Amino acid sequence: MASRQIREKALNMLRSLPRVGIYNIRDNPGSRKTQKRGRGQHGGDKHGAGNKGSGQRQNYMRLGYETGNNPFYLRFPSENYYKGHHLKRQYPPLSLESLQTLIDLNRIDTSKPIDLAEIVKSGCYTFYPDEKQFGVHLTDEGANIFQAKVNIEVQWASETVIAAIEKNGGTITTAYFDPHSLFLLKNPKRYFQSGQAIPRRMIPPPDAIEYYTDASKRGYLADPEKVSQARLELAQKFGYELPKIEDDPDYEMLCERKDPRQIFYGLEPGWIINLKDEVILKPKDEQLIQYYSS
């Protein structure tokens, strides 16, 4: 960087000199080369066009041509079936039947909210965030036998699944986690051991925002009042009496929700979890606190 004096000198010059226009500027030296035909020992003779062939005869081959054999750019046919596949998000499925099995075998505790970390912790479900997999898709297989009352947070769920869960007095939320957060959820212990602060969760991409702000899909960004209305509508559609959730002794647990920037229940962004000494380190600096709650 130029020193302060040089900067000031330049600014003073700018103030006093005439307006910069096309008449008082020039190119940087060496930026334009003259298209002169070379002469003499080094520039003459073949004038840089080589020997014979299309190069000297100014009859150039088209770009990509490989002198007759099947060129690289034509060897592979276009497969529209796979068009955009690298941009699509995947949600590996987990059926309601397997969820019920896990609950029955006490691999998942229903007295606390269930999220992706809890499902992965049960040991019977894996997903790979580095392979464009964005979380769990709860499927409706086993909707007729599902009986547990849970507060579950998944990444994708259909109407039948939502109905099956709410019929038993539970609640379901669909929430988005960006890939970095997914790595945290998959293996929180490994992340905490790395000593990094918990990051903020990012908002969904533009094509997913509509889904997660929809009350009928129980999106985590939807208005809870609209969600209550959608619960009633779904109960009417699928023909069950909606249990009164306010009178439920577990009402607080069932209504527990993460903030849109939170990754874990009870842990805020910015905290460093020291598992060895069983200590949480929280930031004290104003700027940091502001950043992590932005």
Residues that bind other proteins (CB under 8 A): 112-113, 140, 143-144, 160, 163-164, 171, 200, 203, 221, 223-225, 227-229, 231-232, 235-246, 254-262, 265-269, 272, 278-285, 288, 293-294
Structural contact between residues 124 and 177, judged by C-beta atoms closer than 8 angstroms:
no
Decide whether 94 or 215 has the Cβ nearer to other proteins: 215
135 Cβ contact partners less than 8 Å away, ≥ 6 residues apart: 91, 116, 127, 154, 155, 156, 176, 177, 182
253's CB contacts (< 8 A; 6+ apart) are: 111, 112, 113, 151
Structure tokens at 102: 């896990």
Residue with Cβ nearer other proteins (208 or 254) = 254
Q: Based on CB atoms, which residue is closest to other proteins, 62 or 244?
A: 244
SS3 assignment, position 254: helix
The residue among 133 and 151 lying less far from other proteins, judged by its C-beta, is: 151
User: Could you tell me if 230 and 162 are in contact, meaning their C-beta atoms sit under 8 angstroms apart?
Assistant: no
Specify the residue, 136 or 215, whose C-beta has the smaller distance to other proteins: 215
Rounded to 5 degrees, what are φ and ψ at 175? -130, 150
Nearby residues of 124 by Cβ (< 8 Å), 6 or more positions away? 98, 102, 107
Closest separation between CB of residue 70 and other proteins, Å?
50
Q: Shortest gap between Cβ of 77 and other proteins (angstroms)?
A: 39
The residue whose two tokens read 């969820």 is 99
Q: How far is the CB of 63 from other proteins (least distance, A)?
A: 48
- Between 115 and 135, whose beta carbon lies closer to other proteins? 115
| 10: Cβ contacts below 8 Å, ≥ 6 apart | 2
Q: Is 157 helix (H, G, I), strand (E, B) or coil?
A: strand
Distance CA(144)–CA(66), nearest Å, equals: 62
Shortest distance (Å) from residue 140 CB to other proteins: 7
Nearer Cβ to other proteins, position 54 or 236? 236
Question: How near is the Cβ of 103 to other proteins at its closest, in Å?
Answer: 16
Least distance to other proteins from the beta carbon of 246, Å?
6
To other proteins, the closest distance from the beta carbon of 124 in angstroms equals 20
**Helix H or strand E encompassing 156:** strand 156-157
